[in-house]
Structure 1
Amino acid sequence: MKRKFAHVNYKDIPLFKDVTEEEWNDWKWQMRNAIRDIPTLEKVLELNEEERDHLSQTLDQFKMAITPYYAALMDKENNDCPIRKMAVPQLKELYVDPSDLNDPLNEDGDSPVSGLTHRYPDRVLLMVTRECSMYCRHCTRRRIVGETDTSSGKDQLQRDFDYIRNTPEIRDVIISGGDPLVLSDERIDYILTELRKIDHVEIIRIGSRMPVVLPQRITDHLCEVIKKHHPVYVNTHFNHPKEVTIEAQKACEKLANAGVQLGNQSVLLKGINDCPNIMKGLVHDLLMIRVKPYYIYQCDLSEGISHFRTTISKGIEIIENLRGHTSGMAVPTFVVDAPGGGGKIPVMPDYLISQTEKRVVLRNYEGMLSSYTQPSDYHSHDPQKCEYCQNEFLWAKDGVAKLLNEGGTLKPQELRREQRTNGKH
């Protein structure tokens, strides 16, 4: 049966009962009135003494910000509500697991200039602000996001643009933060305009949770600004079907109608979406609002979020329950963003069972095994006769792909067997 999305009913919440519809739909009003302290939160949720004490201890170290819109999605009485868990601080955030890392993805280490991370050959991450409209409790950048609520000034941005301009292999820029859509339309237009002045930048992506936590931000004017600079893609961050409301649907449809292709990046979170059926419900809802499920991330090793982590096998289980059981368009890629800056590594069930020079044995989602006969007369592609192979910007210059193309050896640094022979003549 086709899912019917619900409106957010904010008038039932005493804190918002006198808020006008005009105010409620004003994203700047939502930002100004974000819930940041315990007395205000208690006007939305029922807190017992223990919860109040735990909140007080946690807020001594971490900030809280919950948009009124997102607060209206929370279950007032049930502290097991998935929306509540993603928004309200918990004492568990103060626990640092032995596996926790301050910068688990080594974004600072891969930063050739402040505010920019260059890990993959042809793309960079441009972090334009440290501010979000809401501070998600599972945030991987909690070391910087919300700490100062600052945005990059024009001098800093110009240094970032200069680096991109002087690095011709960069063709894809991901604008992130914080949440870049906390910036004004004018500042967003400026950033997009400057990037479009760089000839080799082909694709611009914006990473934002605004369609989820503050859909009012997706205004007609913002869509017109983005439309001027296509191709622009937007990746957003829905984690649970309860986040898919009529308001979220309208926000995503505005972007889609402006020619923006939308993808979704969920994070696998214990007690929130670590269930194949919840995830199936989510990806189905996403396609209904014109958002393509893109990634499911294994929860990172950031400090203070170990209580959200699941096993990697749980992610594989979810993919096993999606692949073949629903449309391929609805199946995201499950990835582990490897600690130490290893990047996104796809992890999936084993579908390749065995192979010889003649045949490959594969299994499908039902467990059925099939063999695929390989061609005996196949001749490999000739790079000397291929115009694309003559374009050095398309060559793989690192990793396993380089080994396949050029041969050679790729080995870790500081091998023990090499250390044993150091100095040997």
Structure 2
Amino acid sequence: MSVTLKSRTARDAAALIEAGAAPEARRAEIEAVAERYAVAVTPAMLDLIDADDPEDPIARQFVPSLAELDARPEELADPIGDEARSPVKGIVHRYPDRVLLKPMHVCPVYCRFCFRREKVGPGGEALGEAELDAAIAYVAERPEIWEVILTGGDPLMLSPRRLKHIFSRLDAIPHLGVVRLHSRVPVVDPARIDTALLDVLSGAEKTVWLAVHANHERELTEEARAALKTLHGAGVSLVGQTVLLRGVNDDAATLEALFRAMVRARIKPYYLHQGDLAPGTSQFRTGIEEGQALMRRLRGRLSGLAQPTYVLDIPGGHGKVPIGPAWLEGSDAEGWVVEDVNGVKRRYRPA
């Protein structure tokens, strides 16, 4: 495959087929899905797709499948209740001390399991200046808000000029302590982590944290690791977000490799998300019991540095809660019963 074919983001069936990311036989199904949901696969991800492997975990995340048009009754257009917790356009206020700020709805890639798949895409609604003013004012008027989380869409798709403008507005709010960004960019389009962007992030007065989304070890390429190293060197603290996905990472060995790769790349694994009830995503969702069993297997195999918290974002906007396995079974007159990492029940008798 020539380099030219993979020098641009594939946004339709023809481009995916030309780049070798999908066979000609899938043209009609990809076109059908693309009429409903946005499609984009960056050159960095196209290079990772093994066209000869029908179960390729990278292709599964980004190349449309007809299963996406199979919406189930339990699935929701707004699965985590953003709209119900949006007092001002661009703001989601779910917890007392932090808010989401969504300046745009464009992403470098469109994940086939995305919980905001009804909102994101080319031409996705972006905040105008007056709308941004109202969103910033909402934060400034509420001293209980300590953290602003830039999301969307992907905030690192903003131009450095626009991002600097937003940071300057947030830096002027005295009670804010942290600005966090959620992004796929360092992994799926690492060339965007350039000097202009690093200058914005390193120049911020607030502490900057970046939650990096990756679901498989192969996504952390040499180029991605180099981009993450420069971000870390610019003073940006890195945490990792992963979605538990059937056919991508729903086994202990794959998760172990991913979380180790994250730690090597200076990312602290932060959350392992149970799949949300977004339309057409049942093909990806595991049962919670499966996720708990995986987390149980990882305990003892991975150090605490590499252990994320397994969480469920409760539908309706009620927030994230830990749903990992329980190790403490209860207490009686003889003390507590606790299970060790090998599955053996032990007694703990406090004084």
User: TM-score normalised to the size of structure 2?
Assistant: 0.95
| Match for residue 10 of structure 2 among 35, 60, 67 | 35
* d(CA) in 2 for partners of 1:116, 1:47: 38
Match of 2:139 in 1: 164
Q: Is the 8 A contact 1:205 1:234 kept in 2?
A: yes
Task: Say if 1:47 and 1:202 are closer, same or farther in 2 by CA, change over 3 A.
Answer: closer
Per mean C-alpha deviation after superposition, the further-off stretch among 347-356 and 332-341 is: 347-356
| Match for residue 250 of structure 1 among 226, 230, 244 | 226
Match of 1:84 in 2: 59
Match of 1:95 in 2: 70
* d(CA) in 2 for partners of 1:163, 1:357: 53
Amino acid at match of 1:272: V
* d(CA) in 2 for partners of 1:328, 1:315: 18
Give SS of 1:308's match. coil
* d(CA) in 1 for partners of 2:247, 2:238: 26
Match of 1:154 in 2: 129
CA RMSD of aligned residues (A): 1.7
Q: Is the 8 A contact 1:357 1:374 kept in 2?
A: no
Q: Is the 8 A contact 2:186 2:224 kept in 1?
A: yes
Match of 1:306 in 2: 282
| 1:220-274, Cα deviation, whole Å (9 max, x unpaired) | 3312211122410000111001111100100111111111110111001110100
* d(CA) in 2 for partners of 1:273, 1:374: 39
Alignment of 1:19-418 (within 5 A): 33-45=8-20, 47-146=22-121, 148-229=123-204, 230-356=206-332, 359-375=335-351
| 1:180-200, Cα deviation, whole Å (9 max, x unpaired) | 001111111111111111111
Q: Which runs of 5+ in 2 are unaligned?
A: none
* d(CA) in 2 for partners of 1:209, 1:293: 14
Q: Is the 8 A contact 1:203 1:231 kept in 2?
A: yes
Q: Is the 8 A contact 1:220 1:254 kept in 2?
A: no
Amino acid at match of 1:14: S
Q: Is the 8 A contact 2:22 2:63 kept in 1?
A: no
* d(CA) in 1 for partners of 2:345, 2:281: 40
| 1:31-85, Cα deviation, whole Å (9 max, x unpaired) | xx32112222221126445411111211121221111121111112323211111
| 1:358-397, Cα deviation, whole Å (9 max, x unpaired) | 833322212233333445xxxxxxxxxxxxxxxxxxxxxx
* d(CA) in 1 for partners of 2:159, 2:349: 57
Q: Is the 8 A contact 1:45 1:77 kept in 2?
A: no
Q: Is the 8 A contact 1:115 1:127 kept in 2?
A: yes
Amino acid at match of 2:246: K
Task: Say if 1:179 and 1:158 are closer, same or farther in 2 by CA, change over 3 A.
Answer: same
* d(CA) in 1 for partners of 2:133, 2:4: 41
User: TM-score normalised to the size of structure 1?
Assistant: 0.79
Amino acid at match of 2:69: L
Q: Which runs of 5+ in 1 are unaligned?
A: 1-12, 25-32, 376-425
Task: Say if 1:93 and 1:220 are closer, same or farther in 2 by CA, change over 3 A.
Answer: same
| 1:163-212, Cα deviation, whole Å (9 max, x unpaired) | 01111111011100100001111111111111111111111100000011
* d(CA) in 1 for partners of 2:224, 2:211: 14
Larger RCO: 1 or 2 (CA < 8 Å, sep 6+): 2
Amino acid at match of 2:153: G
Q: Is the 8 A contact 1:14 1:43 kept in 2?
A: no
Task: Say if 1:147 and 1:245 are closer, same or farther in 2 by CA, change over 3 A.
Answer: closer
| 1:325-349, Cα deviation, whole Å (9 max, x unpaired) | 2211111000011111121110111
Q: Is the 8 A contact 1:292 1:329 kept in 2?
A: yes
Correspondence 1:16 to 2:4: yes
* d(CA) in 2 for partners of 1:154, 1:222: 21
Give SS of 1:96's match. coil
Per mean C-alpha deviation after superposition, the further-off stretch among 233-242 and 75-84 is: 75-84
Give SS of 2:273's match. strand
* d(CA) in 1 for partners of 2:248, 2:158: 29
Give SS of 1:109's match. helix
